[in-house]
């Protein structure tokens, strides 16, 4: 689910669809490396400085990767990934688009391999929002 406030619409994607990419790999599979491979196919990547790891604003050490979109096709053109130097988990991502709009995601209290109760991520739609199924990935494609 993704809510687009300006359109009062909710985008919906069925993750149980067995859709495959051009290489024949499932695009919605658990524990898949495909997402990471796709990221590095779509972006040039390098460390943001020669001094790695470096101290972040919070005093912790991070490897900081600077990703730049290979083809300017929309979406995030630049992404900075802050990878914890001890755990190698991504703790922060700062992404910017062609208009200079910045989105920051920060991850804390990360617990791996935890049991999650059913319905934890069930999305409740407001009564007057339009629901739009993803036209790019559907059962009949």
Domain coordinates in residue numbering, the chain:
2-109+129-133
- Whole-prediction pTM: 0.69
Query: In what helix (H) or strand (E) does residue 22 lie, and over which residues does it extend?
Result: none
pLDDT confidence of residue 57: 93
User: What one-character DSSP code corresponds to residue 41?
Assistant: H
The answer on pLDDT for 104 being more than 90 is yes
Residue-wise pLDDT tens digits, 44-73? 999 999 999 999 999 999 999 999 999 988
Query: How confident is the model over 117-137, as a mean pLDDT?
Result: 78
d(CA 103, CA 79): 9
Q: Please enumerate, as own/partner, the contacts of 121-129 that have beta carbons within 8 Å and a separation of 24 or more.
A: 123/1, 123/10, 125/1, 125/10, 128/8, 129/3, 129/8, 129/9, 129/10
Tell me how many degrees the CA angle 46-25-63 measures, rounded to the nearest 5.
Answer: 20
pLDDT confidence of residue 58: 94
């Amino acid at each position: 689910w993704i809510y687009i406030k300006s359109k009062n619409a909710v985008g919906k994607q069925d993750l149980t669809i067995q859709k495959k990419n051009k290489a024949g790999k499932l695009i919605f599979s658990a524990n898949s490396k495909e997402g990471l491979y796709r990221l590095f196919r779509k972006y040039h990547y390098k460390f943001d400085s020669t001094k790695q790891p470096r101290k972040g604003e919070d005093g912790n050490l991070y490897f900081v990767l600077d990703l730049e979109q290979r083809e300017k096709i929309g979406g995030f053109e630049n992404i900075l990934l802050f990878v914890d130097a001890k755990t190698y988990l991504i703790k922060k991502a700062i992404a910017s688009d062609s208009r200079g709009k910045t989105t920051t995601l920060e991850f804390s209290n990360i617990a791996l391999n935890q049991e999650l109760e059913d319905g934890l991520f069930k999305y409740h739609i407001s009564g007057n929002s339009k629901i739009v199924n993803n036209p790019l990935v559907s059962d009949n494609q």
